[in-house]
C-alpha cells in the first residue's frame, strides 16, 4: 500500500472494570487511503476510535498522528491537528441553522485567533466572502439548500447524515474517522455516502470507515483492518482476506452467510 504512515497505533490497551476492550492493538493508516475497520460486535472497534480521538485514554500504548503523540490530548486539540471523527448517530448543533452547522466546520479557531488580528478589515471581508461562497457551494452539493435556514433538529435522519458530510468537507481534515456511516440509511443515500467518501479522498483526506456493511466496505475501501477480541488479526485488501481462515472464523462466515 502506497502513502506514508499518517496514523500509527502502537500497542494500545484499555480495560473497563476488568473487561478487556482493547488488547495490544497496533495498526498503520497510510496517507491518501480509505481504510475499512471491521470486526464482530465487541471486537473493540469503537473503543479504538475513542482512544485515538481523545474521548478515552489507553492504559498503555502510543498513538502517533503524523509523528505527533495524541495520548493525553483532548478531543478538541486532536481535531485542530486535522483528525476528526463522527459518531454512529449523527450529531448536530440542534438549535443552530443548517448553514451555521456547516460554517462551524469551516471555522478554524487557531487561525481566527491569530489571523484576524493580522489582516486588514478589507482582507478580512474578502476572507469572509470566500468562506461564505464555499459553504453555500457545499450546501448545494449536498442538497441542503432548501433547508439551509431550518434548525438542524428538524432534519430527517438522511439529511443529518448529509449535513455531517458537508461539515466534514468544510473542515478539510487530514484524517476522517467515520463510525458506521451506513447505519439506518437507504440504498440511494448509501450510494451518496460512498461517493462522499471518495470525494473526501480526492480532496486530500485519509478516511477510516468503521462499518458492518461488507459489500460497501469492499466497494469503497482500498484496504481493510480486521479486529477481534480487542486486537488486529489481519490487514490488507478485502479480496485477500476472504482466504484468511482466522478472519473467516471471526467475522466473515461461510459463503452461504
d(CA 197, CA 169): 10
d(CA 218, CA 214): 6
Q: What is the DSSP letter of 56?
A: S
Percent of the chain scoring above 70 in pLDDT = 88
Q: Is the pLDDT of residue 9 over 80?
A: yes
Q: What is the DSSP letter of 72?
A: T
Residue 108: CB atoms within 10 A of its CB come to 14
Q: pLDDT-based confidence at 109, cuts 50/70/90?
A: very low
Q: Is 163 left (phi over 0), alpha (psi -120 to 50) or beta?
A: alpha
Query: For position 1, what pLDDT does the model report?
Result: 56
Residue 209: CB atoms within 10 A of its CB come to 25
Q: pLDDT-based confidence at 126, cuts 50/70/90?
A: low
Query: For position 130, what pLDDT does the model report?
Result: 75
Q: Is the pLDDT of residue 110 over 60?
A: no
Q: What is the mean pLDDT of the chain?
A: 87
Query: For position 89, what pLDDT does the model report?
Result: 76
130-184 pLDDT per residue, tens:
777 888 899 899 888 888 888 888 888 888 889 899 999 989 999 999 999 998 7
The CATH number for 5-95+171-252, chosen from 3.90.550.10, 3.10.129.10, 3.40.50.300, 3.40.50.360, is 3.40.50.300
CA 28 → CA 25, 117, 191, 207, 233, distances in Å? 11, 39, 27, 12, 13
* Domain assignments of the chain as residue spans, ordered by start: 5-95+171-252
Percent of the chain scoring above 90 in pLDDT = 56
Distance of alpha carbon 151 from its chain centroid, rounded? 24
Q: Is the pLDDT of residue 3 over 90?
A: no
Summarize the confidence of residues 29-51 as an average pLDDT: 95
Q: pLDDT-based confidence at 255, cuts 50/70/90?
A: very low
Highest mean predicted confidence (pLDDT) among 116-120, 186-190, 203-207: 203-207
Judged by DSSP in three states, 212 sits in: coil
Summarize the confidence of residues 216-239 as an average pLDDT: 94
Highest mean predicted confidence (pLDDT) among 70-74, 135-139, 239-243: 70-74
Q: pLDDT-based confidence at 125, cuts 50/70/90?
A: low
d(CA 134, CA 142): 12
Q: If you search the block for the grid coordinates 481523545, which residue do you land on?
A: 54
Strands 68-69 and 60-65: antiparallel
Amino acid at each position: 500500500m502506497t502513502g506514508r504512515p499518517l496514523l500509527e497505533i502502537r500497542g494500545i490497551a484499555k480495560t473497563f472494570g476488568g473487561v478487556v476492550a482493547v488488547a495490544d492493538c497496533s495498526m498503520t493508516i497510510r496517507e491518501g487511503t480509505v481504510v475499512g475497520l471491521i470486526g464482530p460486535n465487541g471486537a473493540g472497534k469503537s473503543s479504538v476510535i475513542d482512544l485515538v480521538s481523545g474521548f478515552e485514554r489507553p492504559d498503555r500504548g502510543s498513538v502517533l498522528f503524523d509523528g505527533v503523540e495524541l495520548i493525553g490530548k483532548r478531543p478538541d486539540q486532536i481535531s485542530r491537528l486535522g483528525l476528526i471523527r463522527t459518531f454512529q448517530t449523527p450529531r448536530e448543533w440542534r438549535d443552530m441553522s443548517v448553514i451555521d452547522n456547516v460554517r462551524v466546520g469551516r471555522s478554524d479557531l487557531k487561525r481566527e485567533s491569530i489571523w484576524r488580528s493580522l489582516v486588514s478589515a478589507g482582507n478580512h471581508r474578502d476572507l469572509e466572502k470566500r468562506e461564505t461562497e464555499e459553504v453555500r457551494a457545499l450546501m448545494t452539493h449536498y442538497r441542503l439548500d432548501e433547508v439551509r435556514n431550518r434548525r438542524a433538529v428538524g432534519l430527517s435522519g438522511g439529511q443529518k447524515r448529509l449535513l455531517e458530510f458537508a461539515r466534514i468537507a468544510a473542515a478539510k481534515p487530514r484524517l476522517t474517522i467515520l463510525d458506521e456511516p451506513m447505519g439506518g440509511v437507504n440504498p440511494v443515500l448509501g450510494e451518496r455516502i460512498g461517493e462522499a467518501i471518495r470525494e473526501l479522498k480526492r480532496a486530500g483526506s485519509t478516511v477510516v470507515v468503521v462499518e458492518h456493511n461488507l459489500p460497501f466496505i469492499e466497494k469503497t475501501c482500498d484496504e481493510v483492518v480486521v479486529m477481534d477480541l480487542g486486537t488486529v488479526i489481519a490487514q490488507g485488501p478485502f479480496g485477500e482476506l476472504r482466504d484468511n481462515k482466522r478472519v473467516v472464523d471471526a467475522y466473515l462466515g461461510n459463503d452461504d452467510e
